[in-house]
Amino acid sequence: MNSHPELPRSPGKIIAVHTAFESRAAQRGRRPKQPSYFLKAGSSVSTSGSKVERPAGTELLAFEGEIALVIGRPAHRIRLDEAWDHVGWVTASNDLGIYDYRAQDKGSNIRSKSRDGYTPLGPELIDAREVSPRELRIRTWINGELSQESGTSDEEMIFPLEQFVADLAQHMTLEVGDVILTGTPAGSTVVQPGDVIEIEVDAAGGQTSGRLVTTIVEGPGDFDESLGMLPNVDDKQTEEAWGSREAAGLPADPNALPEELRAKLLEAPTAGLSAELRKRGLNQVSIEGVHPQTPGTKMVGVAKTLRFLPGREDLFKSHGGGYNAQKQAFDAVRSGEVLVIEARNEPGSGTLGDILALRAKHLGAAGIVTDGGVRDYTAVKEIGLPVFTQGPHPAVLGRKHVPWEADVAVACGNATVIPGDIIVGDDDGVIVIPRDLAESVVDATLTKERQDEWVAERVAEGNPVDGLFPPTGKWKQDYEEWLKSTAPQSR
């Protein structure tokens, strides 16, 4: 190991971890079961004090304060318990990225994260021999205000730092000077030209990387469309870059239910709502065959839809992998929406699992309804998101289904569901309410519920149901008098 180390100016490899901190996973709603990675160009390295350009015409440049591991001894096919011995030094890093190019990169992050200067490192190296990988701390300041802070204890990390070294060394030789960026904690957000980012890594023994200082400046953005894609932003990337819809300044969803209507729907039972819809001539409004994972669940939300086709090997090959329609739908679900999945009443394969349920929960989904099966059934239940399904099944999606399209009319449990319909679920099942009927249906339901409660009290007193259920004659007069006596008094 070099006794007089210098910061790598152009490492042979810069390997970045997608998600490693528990706080970041909670913020994003995606907790990986195993680490995953992407590469950054060696030419993206810059030093403390550098100015980094945000190209003109882009708006979503986000910082990510990270702990960088610098390889000090070649590593190939090593054990986990010896992995830290191959780390020479630890320092601070900033995994900068332009979300305007994130969707176009489709996970490679080449254009979004490998621009010149987009991997600041330093300023000093901490000898890995003198620190514990469980006792490091990273902090990030934006214009002097603390934005990120986390340690590397087992409670704070999804994976221990040395796991990245051992895992990567299974597949390639890590050489001296290679850099591993180990993910960022919660708090990453958008920065603007003129902002100053400071990142510091320190250890329990007092060792420190010093503050890595980067200033954001405006740079040229004359992208040539004839050569490649132009930058583009949408609500999804804007929200992800800022960390939340509120922080991004995005307007409230226009399809969201008014709070007063939502409160009434939460109070109304599906049995009563179904009866009122039947009075209006709507009989095919029950999603058949689905049950709540947790008894006592009440679910109210606006329908977002996802459709699966019957399994076919050639179609699954073209539509089942990568960022398919299923993943896109779960990534795009909005607060207050219920994701309704058409699986053709086929429970013989999972239509979602714990990772997708966690993503929907983080995004504020009101629930999920699938007339198929659910994988990771217990883990999904523990997430606490209302889920109505035919039941558990261990098989992956491709056994029975091809993810095909989202935001279209679907047939779930023999009921037609249109995006924007209102979905209500409880222990009796799930029903679909056309948006334009919701107010009148729920008001009539609650009125009928009040009457039924009065009738139940009379029956409990020993009265027969003839003429009482529903009230007629004298019983009707008694009920109307009771209504008058309990009505709010006007001043």
Looking at residue 43, the DSSP 8-state letter turns out to be G
User: The tokens of 433 are what?
Assistant: 């309410």
For every residue of 115-175, DSSP letters joined together read STT-EEEEEEEEEGGGS-TTSEEEEEEETTEEEEEEE-STTTBSS-HHHHHHHHHTTS-B-
The length of the chain is 491
User: The tokens of 338 are what?
Assistant: 């219920």
Amino acid at position 292, single letter: P
Amino acid at position 403, single letter: P
How far apart are the C-alpha atoms of 289 and 389, rounded to whole Å?
A: 8
| Residue showing tokens 């009319």 | 409
Q: Is 356 annotated as a binding residue?
A: yes
Q: Is 81 annotated as a binding residue?
A: no
Q: Is 354 annotated as a binding residue?
A: yes
User: The tokens of 121 are what?
Assistant: 């490192």
Nearest by Cα to 75 from 7, 13, 129? 13
- Strand ranges, E, within 285-342: 286-287, 291-292, 299-310, 337-342
Nearest by Cα to 197 from 147, 149, 242? 147
Q: Is 428 annotated as a binding residue?
A: no
Judge whether 30 and 117 are in contact, CB under 8 Å. Answer: no
Q: Is 88 annotated as a binding residue?
A: no
Angle between helices 354-362 and 325-332 (to 10 degrees): 30
Q: Is 72 annotated as a binding residue?
A: no
- Pairing mode, strands 299-310 and 422-426: antiparallel
How far apart are the C-alpha atoms of 59 and 42, rounded to whole Å?
A: 24
Amino acid at position 467, single letter: G
Which residues carry a binding-site annotation? 353-356, 375-376
Which residues carry a binding-site annotation for Mg(2+)? 376
Which residues carry a binding-site annotation for substrate? 353-356, 375
